[in-house]
Structures are given as C-alpha cells and as structure tokens.
A and B are shown apart, each in its own frame.
Chain A
Amino acid sequence: MEMNKGVFVLAFFITLFLLILMLLIGSVMNNKRYTYINTQFEEIYNNFNEMQTFFLMAETFGDEMACIAFEKRLSDMDKSIWTLGLKIDQYRIATEEFLKDEYYLKQKTIFNENQLFYLTLLKRLNERCEYEQGEILFFYKNSADCKRCDDQSYVLTSINNKYDEQLAIFSFDMDLNISTVSLLAEYYNVTEFPCLVIQDKKFCGMKSEEHILAQVCDLNKRISFCS
C-alpha cells in the first residue's frame, strides 16, 4: 500500500526543473529588458546626431531649413526620452538584481548625461528657431531619501501624456552624482527634493499638476495650451 521513496525524489526533481525553468525565463526577460533599453538608446543617439547636424546646418545654411526639419524631430524626442526614463525605472523594479546592476547604473548615467546634452541643444534651438515649447527640469532622489519624488514623477507623467508636444520634461537622478548634473543643480541652487525648474525658475517641494501648469503658462504665455 505504501508508496515507493522514488516518488519523493521524482517530485523533488520535477520541482527543481520547474524552478530552473522559472529562473531561465527570468534571465530571458532580463535580456529582453537590456535589449529594449539598448535599442531605445541607439535610437536616441541617432536622433542626437541628427540634431547636431541640424544645428550645424542652421549655422551654415541659415535657420529656416534646419528649424523646419528640427521641429518635427523635437516632439518625437521628448516622448522617447521620457518613456525611456520610465522604462528604466519600471524594469529596475521588475528585476530585483537590477538595482545593484552595473548595467542599470551605467545606462542611467548615460541617460542623464544625454538629457543634459539634449536640454542644451534644445535651449539654443528654441532661441534660434523661436519655438513655443516649454521646458521642465525635474531633480529627484531615491524614494527612501525623497518621499514625494515618486508622486512628483507620477504627476509629471500625467502632464507629459497630455502636453507632450508643447512641453519637454527632463528628469535628473541626483543619486548618480554625475558632475554635469550636479553643476546644473548648483546653477539653479537645488538643495531639496523633489525640485522642479520651470522656464529657469525653481519650485521645490511637491507640486500638483494644476500648480505646475499654471506656472508654465505664467512663465511662457506663447505655449498653445495656455491660451
């Protein structure tokens, strides 16, 4: 009537097999996450290169041609940069190893540096081409040190989804200690978090969607949704 001990062993090996399968699927998903982020970065690099070309063209051939070409690229860029920032954070949460991963830290650093590059370029082209695009800089720290940073990020995502074409939002992770980002924070005298810089004016502490949009419109009346 009693079962053979083999059943205990067989059940153990089947469970072990399932566990290994689970770990393998996890690894495949990790690789897919890396691939996604790498592909997105490649796309953004291409766009940066293109933007630099536009900038040089504007210098060489005059503003008109470069500004027309640049305007279209601008809206695509805003969206992909913000989405990539969100994806990096979502994938970091999904992959428990991700937080300590060199890969994540490296990509996040590159991402922040690139945003700074894009911001500089955008400022110069905005001036040159007289675009009506607003800009918001978001300085944040990890949720343990900054309780409201996640809330602020959610509010900015909501704004980005609604006014993607009229607003460019840049997020800067202050935990990464990137020298150029720290310099920017110092320039705006950012000492507490979360902190927003809207059209070069600093607003620290948690801000609601209503408040941010009111400030954007107050500081840049040319933006279409403000009229």
Chain B
Amino acid sequence: MNISYNILVYSVWFMSTYFLVFLLLILFLKRKELFKEKAMPKVIPLVSIIVPAYNEEESIAETIDSLKKVNYEKLEIVVVNDGSKDNTSSIVKKAIAKDPRFTFLDNKNNKGKAACLNQGIKVAKGEFIGCMDADSVIEKDILIKTVPYFQDKKMGAVTVSVEAYKPKRFLDKIIDLEFTLGLSLFLKAFSFLNSVFVTPGPFSIYRKKVLLEIKGFDKDNITEDFEIAFKIHRAGHKIGNCMAAKVFTLVPPSFKQLYVQRRRWYTGSVQTIIKHRDMMLKPKYGAFGFWIPFNYSLIFTGLGLFVYAFYLGFSKLLENINSLRYTNFNIWERLMQWSPDILTFARVNMMATTIFVASIILMFAGLKFARKKYSEKKLGMLGYPFIFILYQIFWIGSIFALLKGGKVKWR
C-alpha cells in the first residue's frame, strides 16, 4: 500500500465517520422535534402554488387532482405550460375547468423550468409561494403543516418530506429510501443547523417577499432548486423543513434516465458552488458555509478513493486471472486453498468495513427516526448500502460532463 492511498483512506474515513456520527447525534438529540407540528397563524395567509409543466401528459392530471384536494381555504394555483409538445396543455385545460382557484399560463415556446417559475411568481398573489413539479402529488394537509413555519419572520423557505410515488421496481424502492433519508430526514437534521442546502423541486414553499428580494430562480442554472437555497442563505434568511408534510414524486423510469437526472443534479451543484464560492467558510453564513465545502470535500476525496481502490482491485483481479492461467484455470482448487485468517485483514479494510457498518446503522436509525416500518422498506434497505457505488459512477459521468464543458441539459 502506498502512502497516498493510506492518506486517502484515513481522510475519507475520518470525514465520513464524523458526518455519520454528527447526523446520528443531531437526530438523537432532536428526536422529539422531528415531527413537532406548529399552530396556524390567526389570520390565514393566501398561498399560491406554481406548477411548471413540460411534456407531462402522463402525470399532470394526477398532480392537479392532488392540488384540488388540498384542504387550505386561501389557495390559488398557477399552472405554467412550458411549450409542451404533447397533450399537456389540453389535459390541464380540461382538468382545471370550472375551478376558479386555477390560473393557466399556456406558453407556446419552451423557456425552461426556472423561467416558468419566475413567470408564475409574477402573477401569483399569495404571501407564500409553493413550487411544485408536475410529476408529483402532494398530501392534502401540506399547507396546513408548512405555513405555520413562516411565523418565524426569518424563515425564507420550507421543504417537506420527499418520497417516491408508487415505487415498484427494486431501483425505485432504493431511490424511495434514498429520498426518505436524504431529501427528508437529513434535510430536517440540517435545518437544525440552518444549513438546508436544497429546496427540493417536487414541492417547497417560499416567502414571496424573499423570492422577490433574491430576484427569483436563476434561469441559467440547471439545478435551480439547489441554487436558490444558496441565494436564500446569502440574503440572510432561513430554510426550514417540515417532516410531517409529504410530497410523492415519480422516479426516473429507466437506469439511463436516472443517470441523466443525477448527472444534471451533480453538474448543477458543482456549477452552483463555483458561482457562490465566496460564501464558503465564511462565519457570516454559519454552519451552511462550513457544511457545503465539507460535504463536497468528502464527495471528491471519496470519489478519488473509489477510483484508486477500483484500480487496485482490478489490477489484483487481472493478476489472479493471470496466475490461474498457469494452473489450468482451476478456480475451485484456488477457492479451496483459501483459509480465512483475521490477521490478514489490513487496517484499511477494517476502516472501510466500519464505514459500511456505520452507514447501515444510520439507515436503520434513520428509518426509526423517520417513523417508517422496516417491513415497508425492506427491498430498498437491501440495495441502499450499495447505492454509494452507483453515486460514484454518476459522479464520474458528471465530472466528464463538466470537463468537456458541454451544456448539460435539463432533461
């Protein structure tokens, strides 16, 4: 083992263990506050929900249906068609007919999600603005649960629990668990540090005054929900999380589309961090300014270790195949020669094992904190510990996309 490999292993081990320990500590210390509900203000404020839609003919009807069921009396909904080439426009027109709460902006040309959201913000009259994806459905009490968070005058936005919509395949179930932990529970943990780094696209609610102050969404950014979180923190506002409120979103229907989605997320996040690099490690931005560089340092050193370990493992595999050549490929005999000996287990392997075990502990504890039954998530739990391998592959693709300098498209 050479020294650079050992330095990588020790760095990744320390950072990831610190991260896991920290998350577990926060969740344990704040366990009573995770689902704590807040009371509605005496004067019910008007809320506008904006739904940009591009080629969403398969899902938009269900999205509108869920919006119609929302049990909040002062609600307006603005659906913005982003120049769809399919039947989105006609489906929306039919679905919202005779419902005075809906406004439909039917753009003939495609402008992009962020531009549509900004267009919706301009016409929205609500004091608070919910932004929702057209491939998602919300629970009817989502506003009753989230609006009370804005009684804190510094609250600029509130995120909710994101879950996969009717996950069927094995991969869907892994992504569902990933959302339950990563986009719900961990964001809640980060909200205790005022370090929520994303306001997820499926549904997040904003104070309109703050949106106007930060000039809405950046239409040139492919991860506008990530970038706006930076602008909210920059403007000195908070982002909260309401775990009790839920949005269900469709997961990509194929592995290729999942890769395209993640490449967009990862590439967009790097571009956002570069754009807002002046916020990093500045005491003015509190824990947020610390966690972002910490997380991305961990991601990149982890990626370096993954590539290095893959190279070493692959070389070893080639060596073994090569040596098998001289014994007529008698693999069975080779397996029989193997005698387990704990003392041949190197310290670096021990460290990798502890990280793996710690992430499994975090998964079990996380589900407990998120009030989920293990039996409901058992398939996702089987695959979740290995999703990190998939992340690395997605990250490698994203880095290539970034280095190539080509424009990563929204879809």
- Interface residues of chain A, those whose CB is within 8 Å of chain B, are 1-3, 7-8, 10-12, 14-15, 18-19, 22-23, 25-26, 29, 32-33, 36, 87, 90-91, 93-96, 150-151, 154-155, 157-158, 161, 206-210
Contact = CB atoms under 8 A, between A and B. Distances in A.
Given A15-B17, A15-B18, A150-B323, A158 B6 contact: no
Contacts of A19: 13-14, 17
B29 interface: yes
B171 to A, nearest CB: 32
B326 A94 contact: no
B192 to A, nearest CB: 5
Contacts of B1: 93, 96
Sorting the interface of chain B by its residue count into under 10, 10 to 19, 20 to 34 or 35 or more gives: 35 or more
Interface stretch (B19-27, B134-142, B223-231, B257-265): B19-27
Contacts of B70: none
Contacts of A87: 341
B344 interface: yes
Contacts of B191: 1
Contacts of B194: 1-2
A158 B333 contact: yes
Interface string B336-352: 01000111111110110
Contacts of B238: 1
Contact of B327 (A2, A3, A29, A209): A209
B410 to A, nearest CB: 34
B29 A7 contact: yes
5 contacts: A3-B29, A7-B26, A26-B350, A151-B319, A158-B334
A210 B326 CA distance: 8
A96 B6 contact: yes
Nearest to A159: B327
Given A1-B192, A3-B193, A19-B14, A150 B25 contact: no
Contact of A36 (B21, B240, B343): B343
B326 A33 contact: no
Given A151-B326, A155-B326, A210-B328, A94 B319 contact: no
Contacts of B344: 90-91, 93-94
Nearest to B10: A19
Contacts of A14: 21, 25
Contacts of A157: 337
B interface secondary structure, majority: helix
Contacts of A93: 1, 344, 346
Contacts of A209: 326-328
A212 B284 CA distance: 73
Top 6 A-B pairs, shortest CB-CB distance? A11-B22, A154-B323, A26-B347, A208-B326, A151-B323, A94-B346
B309 to A, nearest CB: 15
Nearest to A33: B343
Interface centre among A3, A8, A26, A158 (most CB of B within 10 A): A3
A96 B346 contact: yes
B9 to A, nearest CB: 10
Contacts of A208: 325-327
Nearest to B334: A158
A7 B152 CA distance: 24
B326 to A, nearest CB: 4
A206 B323 CA distance: 10
Nearest to B324: A154
A12 to B, nearest CB: 7
Given A1-B192, A25-B350, A157-B337, A206 B326 contact: yes
A145 B240 CA distance: 60
Contacts of A210: 328
A168 B240 CA distance: 73
A22 B347 contact: yes
Contacts of B354: 18, 22
A53 to B, nearest CB: 32
A215 to B, nearest CB: 14
Contacts of B346: 93-96
Interface centre among B25, B326, B345, B350 (most CB of A within 10 A): B326
B361 to A, nearest CB: 12
B14 A15 contact: yes
B322 interface: yes
Nearest to A21: B354
A145 to B, nearest CB: 16
